[in-house]
Amino acid sequence: MLAYIVRRLFLMLVTLFGISVIIFVLLRVVPGNIVDILFDAAGYVDPADKANLEKELGLSDPIVVQYLKWIGGLLHGDLGYSYVSEKPALQEILPRIPITAKLAGLALLFSASIGIPLGVLSAVHQGTRLDYALRVVSLSGLSLPSFWLGLLILMASVSMLGWMPIYNPNPQTWAEAFAIYCIPAMAVGFRSAALTMRITRSSMLEILRQDFIRTARAKGASEASVNYHHALKNAVLPVITVIGIEAAFLIGGLIVTETVFNIPGIARFLVEALRWRDYPIVQNLVMFIAVVVVVVNFAVDMLYAAIDPRIRFGD
């Protein structure tokens, strides 16, 4: 087990190193840099001013030097300065992480708390009207883009309630605080819940046909005990995998939701930073997201063993 963990940690480091190289090179392959954008905003191009600014920002250094400066700084906790705001990158990124984390966490919670029970319900009542209705809901969840759903929610809120749940850093009431996070979380988590529900349903259907389920029923176990204790426990592994993948995917899904609900989280910030070619912000944010994804994957793998005692992490 220890050897497995050490190996995984080593692989994580290699993965992160690979990602750092890829993102660094890709950013510089994409045409245009911050200086082009700044001059675009100023409405003119002056080659001499442009060269001066590139030098000032260190963009005229060889790419290897730029990479080493970044990684060296990163190892010392210095993430550099945002080219746009001219503030330390850490100062720009840190306040946005809890916002996105809350949103992603709530979306995942919504996804799991809706998707798993409904998936079980749908499987247990296979072929009934309830099953068909739930399958329609799950299909619609998979087909509705979250930005469209978000806009629909905003429009409905404005026309029906005369109020809209867009972000406010200082919510006045408990209800407002709830709404500004939960409604966007539901909009983005709906697709994820639909996926979880379908995976839970198919996994449950497979398990419910197993011999040990028939045995449990023959021994007189209640339906609830059969469904939730025996079947769900065995069906949940693929669901955990999907939730793990979704956790990583959510960052992408949050970009549009953060834009529609005007939430100043890291996903929207990343897009803006990309638009401005704000390399220090993009590089560090991508690395942060990569760390989250790698750690979540690692945690999911560890969770397998906790849930299913048959799984052992051997050498």
Residues that bind another protein (CB under 8 A): 31-33, 36-46, 49, 52-53, 82, 84-87, 92, 151, 154-155, 157-159, 162-164, 166, 169, 259-262, 264, 268-269, 272, 275-277
Kindly state the smallest distance separating residue 272's Cβ from another protein, in Å: 5
CB-nearer residue toward another protein: 198 or 268: 268
Kindly state the smallest distance separating residue 164's Cβ from another protein, in Å: 4
Kindly state the smallest distance separating residue 54's Cβ from another protein, in Å: 11
Read out DSSP for 67-135? HHHHHHHHHTT---B-TTT-SBHHHHHTTHHHHHHHHHHHHHHHHHHHHHHHHHHHHHTTTSHHHHHHH
Q: Which residues of 207-232 are buried (b: 16+ CB within 10 A; e: fewer)?
A: bbeeeebeebeeeeeeeeebbeebbb
Sequence-ordered list of residues with C-beta below 8 angstroms from that of 30, at least 6 positions apart, any chain: 277
CB-nearer residue toward another protein: 8 or 50: 50
CB-nearer residue toward another protein: 183 or 247: 183
Kindly state the smallest distance separating residue 159's Cβ from another protein, in Å: 8
CB-nearer residue toward another protein: 200 or 257: 257
CA distance 151 to 106: 19
CB-nearer residue toward another protein: 93 or 107: 93
Kindly state the smallest distance separating residue 235's Cβ from another protein, in Å: 40
